[in-house]
């Protein structure tokens, strides 16, 4: 692009694009820290739980509305059970199936909400799960009095929880070694 400068001379303005191709530097946030990772993990878990509750209620209401519109003979048993009991069981099963659908919707909402840091979260999550896999004890030596601590690390939401999980795993190993 040419512009007219001082005393009528033309000069070019250097065009240097300020585009960076790695997503972490473009947002200015840098890599995802462990504290931020655990916050996102907790947020994902809560969103999945809440969406499970809503879809569970929706599933039971859908089942209830369907069963309310069909004609059932109350004197004739269904599979050998009272029809009212079967309808109540069907409403409960509809709610449970709805609750199971909830985490799919919750993970979709989480991905939409955290689009900018999703790749970093997934990288950190795979690294975290590989650490869990390498650090967790062998479950073959568990017993009723010595249960294995949180095998998949589902209740680890902070560095403090992770350190406590490591201590629990070491205690499990020590008890399993002493009592076998």
pLDDT in tens, 19-63: 444 444 444 467 899 999 999 999 999 999 999 999 999 999 999
Pairwise CA distance, residues 52 & 58, whole Å: 10
Report pTM: 0.74
Pairwise CA distance, residues 149 & 142, whole Å: 10
Q: Where are the domains of the chain?
A: 34-133
pLDDT score recorded for residue 6: 53
pLDDT in tens, 101-128: 999 999 999 999 999 999 999 999 999 9
Pairwise CA distance, residues 135 & 108, whole Å: 30
Closest CA to 130 of 147, 150, 153: 153
């Amino acid at each position: 692009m040419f512009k007219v400068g001082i005393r009528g001379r033309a000069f070019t303005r250097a065009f240097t694009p300020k585009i960076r191709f790695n997503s972490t530097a473009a947002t200015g946030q840098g890599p995802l820290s462990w504290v931020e990772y655990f916050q996102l993990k907790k947020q994902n878990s809560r969103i999945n739980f809440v969406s499970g509750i809503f879809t569970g209620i929706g599933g039971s209401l859908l089942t209830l509305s369907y069963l309310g519109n069909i004609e059932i003979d109350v004197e004739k048993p269904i599979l050998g059970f009272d029809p009212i009991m079967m309808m109540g069981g069907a409403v409960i099963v509809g709610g449970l199936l709805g609750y199971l659908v909830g985490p799919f919707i919750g993970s979709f909402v989480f991905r939409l909400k955290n689009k900018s840091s999703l790749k970093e979260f997934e990288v950190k999550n795979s690294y975290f799960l590989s650490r869990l896999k390498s650090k967790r004890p062998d479950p073959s030596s568990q017993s009723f009095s010595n249960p294995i601590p949180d095998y998949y690390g589902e209740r680890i939401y902070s560095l403090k929880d992770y350190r406590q999980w490591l201590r629990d795993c070491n205690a499990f190993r020590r008890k399993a070694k002493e009592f076998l």
